[in-house]
Amino acid sequence: MNHVSRFLSIGWFVRRSLFPLCLLMTSGAGLHAQAKKSPPQIYCVAYAPNLSELFVKAADDRYQRIEVSTANVLELSARKAEGGKLSLYGPANAEGKHELAAEVDMGQTSHPLVILHPAAGAQPPYATKVVDADPGTFTLGSYLLVNLSPYAIRVTQGKESVEVLPSATHIYQPKSPEGEPLAITIDYKLNEEWQLLSSSHWSHRQDRRSLVCIVEDPASQRMTVKSIPLRPLAMP
C-alpha cells in the first residue's frame, strides 16, 4: 500500500470512529436541552389575604392573569418564566398599580414546581418554595413531603418514621403493597415535644405521585396538612 492509500485508509477509519461519538454528543445535548424545556407548575397551599388572583407582567407592560389554585397543581407557560425567574403581582389597586405579590427564582431546576403560601408578616405577601418534581426521582407511587412550617415534622407509618426539618423536603416511598391504605401519623415538634397534627389513612397507588405540604397559617398559627396528586407532565 503506498503512502496516499495508507493516508486515505487512516482518514476513513478516524471518520468512522468519530461519527458515533459525535452522534452521541449531539443526542446528549439534545436530551439536556429537552430536559430544560419542562414547563413550571404552580400550586398555592393557601391564599394570602385578598390575593386569590395573581398576574404576570407581559412584554408590552400589560398584566396578564395566571391561574393559581388551592385545589389543583397547574402548568404555567414557559414564556412567563424566562430566565428561571418569575414575578407575580396582585390585582390593580385604586391607583391602577399592581403590587408585587411573590418573587420566584427557579434556578436550574429541571422540573420546577412552585409552591406559594402566605408569608409570615413580610413583603411580598406570598412566600415561595421551588421543588424539583423530576419524575426520575419523584417517582410514581411516592409522596413528596414539603415542610413549609417553622417546626420539624415527623411522618410515621407503622414502625417507620421520617423527620423533615423546616424548609426541607423528603420523597417518601411506602413499602406497603399497592392498594393497601396507609395509616399515617404526622407530628410537629413544639418546645422539644412532639405534638399530634394529623392521623389519617392515605391511598397508596402506583399510578400517581402526591404532593404533601405542611404549613402554618401566619394569622391563626394553626398547622395544616394539604395533600394533592400531581397530574402527568405535559410534553414540551
Residue 24 within any structural domain of the chain: no
Q: Are residues 169 and 203 in the same domain?
A: yes
- The domain spanning residue 161 has which CATH number? 2.60.40
Q: Are residues 106 and 145 in the same domain?
A: no
DSSP 180: S
- Cell numbers placing 166: 423546616
Q: Which one of 112, 134, 156 terminates a domain?
A: 134
pLDDT tens digits, residue range 111-131? Answer: 999 999 999 876 899 999 999
User: Alpha-carbon distance 132 to 81, whole Å?
Assistant: 15
Residue 15 within any structural domain of the chain: no
Q: What is the mean pLDDT of residues 17-30?
A: 44
Q: Which one of 104, 134, 164 terminates a domain?
A: 134
Q: Are residues 171 and 126 in the same domain?
A: no
Q: Are residues 44 and 127 in the same domain?
A: yes
Q: Are residues 153 and 175 in the same domain?
A: yes
Count other C-beta atoms under 10 Å from residue 163's C-beta: 15
- Cell numbers placing 12: 476513513
Q: Are residues 118 and 161 in the same domain?
A: no
pTM: 0.81
Residue 71 within any structural domain of the chain: yes
DSSP 9: H
Q: What is the mean pLDDT of residues 146-173?
A: 96
- Number of domains observed in the structure of the chain: 2
pLDDT tens digits, residue range 24-80? Answer: 444 444 444 344 557 889 999 999 998 999 999 887 789 999 989 999 999 887 666
Q: Are residues 167 and 115 in the same domain?
A: no
Quickly state the pLDDT bin for 175 (edges 50, 70, 90).
Answer: confident
Q: Name, in order, each residue with C-beta under 8 angstroms of 227's C-beta and a sequence gap of 6 or more.
A: 143, 202, 210, 211, 212, 213
Domain span at 92: 38-134
Q: Are residues 121 and 149 in the same domain?
A: no
Mean pLDDT score of the chain: 84
CB 229 within 8 A of CB 30: no
Residue 148 within any structural domain of the chain: yes
Residue 141 within any structural domain of the chain: yes
Q: Which one of 134, 149, 182 terminates a domain?
A: 134
Tell me the β-bridge partners of 202. Answer: 182
Count other C-beta atoms under 10 Å from residue 162's C-beta: 13
- Give how far Cα 158 sits from Cα of 155, 175, 181, 206, Å: 10, 10, 12, 20
**Amino acid of residue 16:** R
Which of 7-21, 107-121, 143-157 comes out lowest in average pLDDT? 7-21
Q: Are residues 100 and 183 in the same domain?
A: no
Count other C-beta atoms under 10 Å from residue 98's C-beta: 17
Count other C-beta atoms under 10 Å from residue 74's C-beta: 15
